[in-house]
Structure 1
C-alpha cells in the first residue's frame, strides 16, 4: 500500500510541485520506504508517491511509473490477480520490466482502457495521466477499501489518499455542517444518497466501484459506476452445493491475498470471521505467511475474546500475540487515532484496531489479513434478525414461528413486537413513519444549538433499505451505508503503522455469489452466518463455530469514558462545539454519559470525535 497525491492544472502552476511535496510529507506513514515525484513537460501535471514495498521490492516497481511515453501512474493498493492478468497481457504481446502489480495496472489500462477495471480483483485507488489526450483517469476498487479524495474547481484537479494531504496542497478546510448534524444525531459518517460527500465542503471522495475522467481543457469531469451487484436469488441451489461453492471461492480469495514479498499475518479476534480466515490459510503454502496472529485483549472485561482466539491459535500452531489498552493510555491514543482518521468515528472500537496493527508492525508483519465485510455479506449482525423475521412474517408465518422460536432458544433477545409486525405488513409506511420520528428526535436534541439544528434539519440523511427483507438489508449495508465506514477505519489504522490490510471476504466474485443465495442461507435455525458456519464446521473448534454470543471487536469503552483525562477531553470538545455554534451552552453543565461501544446515542463520544474536525 502507498500514499498518492497530485495536481492537474489548466495552466502552469508555479507552486504545485512544492505543494505536492508537502502532501507526500504528511502521507509518509502510508509509504515510508520511497518518495518520488513526476511532472509533465508542460508543468501542468504533478504526481507524488510514497511507497510501502509489498510486491517486487526493487526500484523497477517504483512510482510514479510511466509507460509508452504516454501514460503515467500513481497507485495505492494491490491487484491480487495480477499474475493471471499479466499472462493475458503477455499473450497479447505486452512486455514488462518489473514483477509488480503496479505495472500490470498501467499496461492493462494502456491495452484495455477503462474496461481493465472489470478484470481487477483488488483493493486500489489510482490516477493515470494520459499525455496524448490530456486526460486524467482515476478509479477506486469495488468496495472502497482504498481512499481517493479530490478537489475540483475548473482551474485545477487536486487528489490524495487522505484529506490532510489536500490541506497540505492548499485546499481550504471547511467543515460540512450537514454531515456533522447527521453524525451527531444519527452516528452517520456518510450520506447514503450522495457517496461523494465528505465531512468537508470542498473535498469530495470518488465513490467505490467508480472511475473518473477529468479534462480541464474541456472543463469536464465525469464519474462512471463500473460495477454493481443485484440481488438475484437462485431458489434451486442446495445448501450442500452453495457451501461447496463458497469454500472454493473463499479459498481462491485467500490464496491470492497471500501473494506477497513481505511477511503476512492475520488478525484474530476469536470470532467466526477471523478464525475462518486462519482455517483457510492453513491449507495454503504461501512463502511469506508467517503463522503470526494478533488479538486485542482486555483482561477482566466481560466481553474479552482472548480465550477464543487462543483456542484457534493453538489448533493451527500459530504464534499468538496479544495487545491491550490500559486506561491510562486511552487519552493519548484517542488523540493519535483522531489525527490519523481525519474524520469522526462513533466508538472506541477503532482504538483497539489501531493497537492490533501497531502490534503487527512491531513483530515484523507488514501485511495483515482481516475479516471486514463478513457480517454485511453473510448476515452477522443481530439487527438482521428483524429483517429476516419481517420477511417471513409477511410471506411465511409458519417458518417465521419456527425461526423466531429457534432464535429464542439460542438466547437471541431481539425485540419483535407489534411495531415490527406492522412494519412487515406495511414496510413503506413504516419507513416513512420511522424517518419522521428520527427527524423530529434529531431536531429536538436539547444539546444542539437551535440555529445549527434549524439550518440543517432539512438535510437529514436517515434511510432504511429500499428492499425490506434480509438480502435487501445486507445489500444496503454492504453498498450504501455501513461497510464503507469500517473500511475507512481499517485503511487509516493500518496505514498509520505502514501495514497493508487485506480482506478475503471482499473478493467480488464471492460477494456476487452470496447475493444469489436465498436468505435462509444467511440466517437459519436462529443462527447468523449459517453458510459460513457450515463451511468451517469441520475446520474450527465447535466452540467457535456454534458460539452464541457474538461480541465484535468491543473494548471497555464505558469504563474508559469514566477516566478523568478522557472526561476532560470530552468537556473540552463540548466547549469547542459550543464556540463553533454546534452545541448549546447548557451542555457544559451536564454530566458526561458513559456508554458502551455499541450502544446507541453515545452522544458524548460523538461530541469528542466531532470536535476534532475543527
Structure 2
C-alpha cells in the first residue's frame, strides 16, 4: 500500500519536473513511510514518483517505481490478493521473477496478457504503467474503487496522484472548483468524478486511462467484461456460495509479510470477519491480532459484544478507550488529515491512530457488508421512493416547507434521476438551505446537482437491488472508501475490505432478490450463511452504527466552536445555534466548519 504520483509533459523543464514530483511525494509521505523512489524516462518527458508502505516483500526487491525488462515501468498503490495464482500461471509460461512482490507480477502479467491483465487482478489497486516501446502510459483503478487515483489532462499533459492535495504547490496552477461547496452541502462529500480542484478528476473504478505520449490525448475505457450467470434460486446454494467465497476472500486478505489484524467493533460484519480469520489463523498455528475502540460514554460502547467474540477466539487483543480529552488533543490533526471535505472520516482517523499505536500495518474492515447484504434503512425506504415518485414535481418541491428532514428531502425526487433518488435517501442539506448558506439561487443549486455526471441505476434492478446499487456506487464509493483510505494512510496503515472481493460481489449479483433481502431481518443471507459460527447475541439486537460521541464532545470543543464563531452568514449562524441547543446533528455542524473555514 503506497502513494503514487506522476507527470508527463514534453514542455516542462527537467529540473522543474523533479521539484514537482518531489513536492507531490512529500505531501503524501504519510502514506508511504518505508521508502521513496523516482523514475525519469530517457527523453525526460515522464517522471514517476512513489512512496512505499511495505506489506508484501519487505526487502529492496519491492522498491518502486519498478522497471521490468527495460520495457515497462510501474508505480503501484495497492495489494493484489491473487498474485501468487497469477505468478504460478506466468511461471508455467516461462516467466522468471527476481522478487517476491505482487508488483513484479503485474508487470510480467502485462507483458504476457496486455490489457486483459487488468480484469484478472483481484484486489485493491491504483497504478500507472508506462510502456516504453509504445510510448503509452496506463492509469488503472480496481473494480470496487477501493484505492483512489486522481488525474488531470489539461494543456496537453498528464498529471496524476493518489491524493488531491498533491496537485497543490506545484508549477501547474489548479483553480478551485466553484461548485464543490454545492456538491459537499448536498452529499456530505465530493461525489466522483469531481474534486475541489477544476480540471482534476477521479478515475472511475474498473476503468483505465490510456495516455498517448505523441498525440498527448487521453482515452478512458472500462476493462470489465460483463458476465451473465444463472440466477441462484435455492436457499442452501445461496448460503453455501456466500460462505465459501467470503472465507476464501478473508484468507487472501490475510496475506502479509508485516503485522496485520482485524478491527473488531462488535457488530455483525467485523465479528464475522474476526471469527473467520481466527479459524484460518488457528489452522496455520497462528494467533490473530484484533483491535477494538470503546468510549467512556457507555451508550456508544459495544464492549460487551466484542467480548462475546473474544471469548470464542485466540487473539492478541488490544482495546482502547477514547475519551473527550484524547479526542480534543488530536481532533485538529484529524481535520488537517482530510484530503477532500467530508462530513465523516474523523472516526476513521482515530481507529487507524490506535491501530498504528498497536504496531499494526494492515487491518481488515467490514466495509461493504451493509451495502451488499441490505444493512441500511434505505433498503426498506425504496418502496417510499417509488410511491413519492408518482407525485407531480410541483408537489415534491413543496416538501421543502416540511420541518422533518427525511420528508423535506423529497424535493430531490423532482430531479427524476439517480442523483435525486440518492439525495432523497441520504442527502445532507436541501437546495433551499444550500441557497441560503452560499448566497446563490435555488435554481442554480438545482441546475448543478441535477446535471451532475453520474452513472445511472441499471435497468431491471428490483427495489432492494436499487438501494444496494445506490449505497455501493455513491455512498460507499464516495464517502466510506475515500475517508477510510485518506485517514488510514495518514498513519501508514492499510485497511483491507474482504466484503468487496470481486468474486463475492459477482456471486451476490447472481442470487435472486428474495433470497438476498427478504429474510426476517437485515443481512439475513449473511447471517444464515454463517449461522454455525456467528453468535446469536451478535446479530439478534438493534443495529449500532460505528460512531463517536461527537454530539457531546463538539459542543464544548474550543477549536471547533471558535472556528464556527467567526462565520458571517445568517443561515449558518441559525444552524449553529440549533447545534448548540442539541437540535442539529453534529455532522451538519462539521460541514459548516469546512465550508466556511476552507
TM-score of the aligned structures, taking structure 2 as reference length: 0.87
CA distance in 2, matches of 1:563, 1:275: 34
Please state how far the C-alpha of 1:92 moved relative to its aligned partner: 1.4
Give the secondary structure class of the aligned counterpart of 1:217. coil
Which residue of 223, 226, 251 maps to 2:223? Answer: 226
Q: Which residue of 2 aligns with 1:87?
A: 88
**Post-superposition offset of 1:91:** 1.3
Which position in structure 2 is the counterpart of 1:483? Answer: 477
Residues 129 and 390 of structure 1: CA distance in aligned 2, closer, same or farther (over 3 Å): closer
Cα distance between partner residues in 2 of 1:233 and 1:296: 42
Distance across 2 between alignment mates of 1:475 and 1:434: 10
- Number of aligned positions between the proteins: 572
Equivalent residue in structure 2 for 1:544, among 538, 560, 583:
538
Question: Structure 2 vs 1, CA of residues 22 and 186 (structure 1 numbering), >3 Å: closer, same or farther?
Answer: closer
> What is the deviation of 1:281?
0.8
Partner of 2:546: helix, strand, or coil? coil
CA distance in 2, matches of 1:142, 1:62: 25
Q: 3-state SS of the aligned residue for 1:477?
A: helix
For residues 432-471 of structure 1, what are the structure 2 equivalents within 5 Å?
441-445=430-434, 447-451=436-440, 455-461=444-450, 467=461, 469-471=463-465
State the partner residue of 1:365.
Answer: 360
On the 8 A contact 2:24/2:166 being kept in 1, the answer is yes
Instruction: Find out whether 1:386 has 2:381 as its counterpart.
Output: yes
Q: Determine whether 1:255 maps to 2:251.
A: yes
Distance 1:610 1:522, change over 3 A: farther
Instruction: State the partner residue of 2:171.
Output: 170
Equivalent-residue separation in structure 1 for 2:64 and 2:417 (angstroms): 54
Q: Distance in 1 between matches of 2:388 and 2:24?
A: 54
The verdict on how the C-alpha distance between 1:30 and 1:288 changes in structure 2, with shifts beyond 3 A counting, is farther
In the aligned structure 2, how far is the partner of 1:510 from the partner of 1:596? 45
> How many angstroms does 1:587 deviate by?
3.4
Say yes or no: does 1:374 pair with 2:374: no
> Kindly tell me: are residues 80 and 186 of structure 1, through their superposed partners in 2, closer, same or farther at Cα, counting changes over 3 Å?
closer
Rounded Cα–Cα distance in structure 2 between residues aligned with 1:509 and 1:20: 36
Select between 332-341 and 353-362 the one with higher mean Cα deviation: 332-341
Corresponding residue for residue 183 of structure 2:
182
Conserved 8 A contact 2:270-2:366? yes
Q: Secondary structure at the match of 2:171?
A: coil
Matching residue of 1:113: 114
Structure 1's unaligned 5+ residue stretches are 395-414, 579-583
Distance in structure 2 (CA, Å) of the matches to 1:45 and 1:232 = 43
Structure-2 change in CA distance of 1:589 and 1:22 (3 Å)? same
Partner of 1:606: 591
Partner of 1:401: none
Cα distance in 1, alignment partners of residues 56 and 213 from structure 2 = 34
Paired residues for 1:155-166 under 5 Å: 155-166=156-167
Question: Are residues 434 and 74 of structure 1, via their aligned partners in 2, closer, same or farther at CA, if it must alter by over 3 Å?
Answer: closer
| Alpha-carbon offset, residue 457 of structure 1 | 3.7
CA distance in 2, matches of 1:593, 1:41: 61
**CA, structure 1 residues 532+498, in 2 after alignment: closer, same or farther (shift >3 Å)?**
same
CA distance in 1, matches of 2:497, 2:67: 29
Name the structure 1 match of 2:393: none
Post-superposition Cα deviations, 1:567-587, rounded to whole Å, max 9, x if no partner, equal 424415x63xx5xxxxx3563
2:399 alignment partner in structure 1:
none
Runs (5+) with no aligned partner, structure 2:
390-404
The C-alpha deviation readout for 1:286-334, integer Å capped at 9, x for no partner, is 8696522112211234132121112212211223322233223434533
Which residues of 2 match residues 19-168 of structure 1 at below 5 A? 19-168=20-169
Q: Which residue of 2 aligns with 1:240?
A: 236
Whether the aligned pair in 1 keeps the contact of 2:555 and 2:580 (CA below 8 Å) is no
Find the aligned partners of 1:339 and 1:560 in 2 and give their Cα distance: 18
* Residue 336 (structure 1) aligned to one of 327, 333, 355: 333
SS at match of 2:449: coil
Could you list the per-position Cα deviations for residues 486-530 of structure 1 after superposition, in whole angstroms to 9, with x for gaps in the alignment? 011111121111111111101101001101212233333440011
Which sits farther off after the overlay, 444-453 or 380-389? 444-453
Q: How many angstroms apart in 1 are the aligned matches of 2:95 and 2:582?
A: 52
Using the alignment, how far apart are the partners of 2:418 and 2:62 within structure 1? 55
**Aligned counterpart, 1:279:** 275
RMSD over aligned CA atoms reads 3.5
Q: 1:313 maps to what in 2?
A: 310
- CA shift for structure 1 position 436: 10
Matched, 1:508 2:502: yes
**Distance in 1, Cα, partners of 2:498 & 2:487:** 18
CA change 1:254–1:595 in 2 (3 A) is: farther
Shift of 1:340: 2.0
- The CA deviation at 1:203 is 1.3
8 Å CA contact retained: 1:125, 1:139: yes
Q: Which moved more, 1:312-321 or 1:450-459?
A: 450-459
Moved more, 483-492 or 427-436: 427-436
Instruction: Please say if 1:568 is aligned against 2:569.
Output: no
Q: CA deviation at 1:97?
A: 0.5
Alpha-carbon displacement from aligned partner over 1:461-495 (angstroms, at most 9, x marks no partner): 58995656101210222124433310111111211
Is residue 552 of structure 2 the alignment partner of residue 559 of structure 1?
Answer: yes
C-alpha change, 1:587 and 1:343, in structure 2 (3 Å) is: same
Correspondence list, 1:402-421, <5 A: none
Q: What corresponds to 1:495 in structure 2?
A: 489
Question: Does residue 276 of structure 2 align to residue 269 of structure 1?
Answer: no
User: Structure 2: how far apart are the matches of 1:228 and 1:2?
Assistant: 28
Q: Deviations over 1:8-62 (max 9, x none)?
A: 1123533101111111112111111111111111111111111111111111111
CA distance in 1, matches of 2:428, 2:375: 28
